[in-house]
Structure 1
Amino acid sequence: MDKFTHLIKLSVGTEGVEDLAAWQESRRAPTPDGLPRHVTRMWPRREAEVLAGGSIFWVIKGLVQCRQRILRLDAVTGEDGIDRCAIVLDPKLVRVAPTPKRPFQGWRYLAPGDAPRDMREGRKTEDALPPELAGALAEIGVI
């Protein structure tokens, strides 16, 4: 049995990995430590497993396209007075093999065995395929 687990989340409105990186960069400056974070209503009940080596996998345009290592979970209170969870992330986005994923709400746990593999080192510098093409190739098992 794995000692850690991942999270998976839709990146709504994001056009690609570069777009996600730019959005996170623009939001990092006002944070106390300069690290990107995603604020969510729900605190992971499996906190210890998530913090034992988990990443958040980002679904962009119907494909899991990248991941970020989860560094910690911070309690934050919104302007509305409601307590939330800030998932604090490593700024490095790691591209993964594009994998189709249907829409869902919120975040979900993702078992390590179900997580897309990281892109091979030589492929990380290639230009990204258009999401539609990457999705079609992933569906037939080419990438």
Structure 2
Amino acid sequence: MKRLMLALALFLGVQAVSNAQEVHDRKGAHRNMTPEQRAEKQTERMQQDLQLTDAQKKAVYELNLQSAKEMKAARAEGAEMNREKFKAMHEQKDARLKAILSADQLKKYETIKAERMNKMKERQGDKGLRQG
């Protein structure tokens, strides 16, 4: 019986480490995306969520590509980069996006954006509780 319990505990430990590695690998893959890959992924998500027209999809892709390149350059600056600069970049992108989307699409975009921010804040709050 002890051997069975030991084997089960060993199996569960290995499984937990394996799952943690998979999550880490997925996050790492996201960080290593090129600006083009990021723009394509963002545009596809927006296409699904907002049902963009072909012209809108092309304009949104160009905007996402420009934004991804700016973000990559800003991250390369490293220590000089701060939250305020990232926030300004996002606000500028949103302002340009308003010229591309219809009123209904913009409303839906803002709703989705708020939901994602809330989920992110919840995850960050959970991390703080677990660390303490």
**Structure 2 length-normalised TM:** 0.21
Higher RCO (Cα < 8 Å, 6 or more apart): 1
The TM-score, its normalising length taken from structure 1, stands at 0.20
Higher helix share: 2
**Larger Rg, first or second structure (1 or 2):** 2
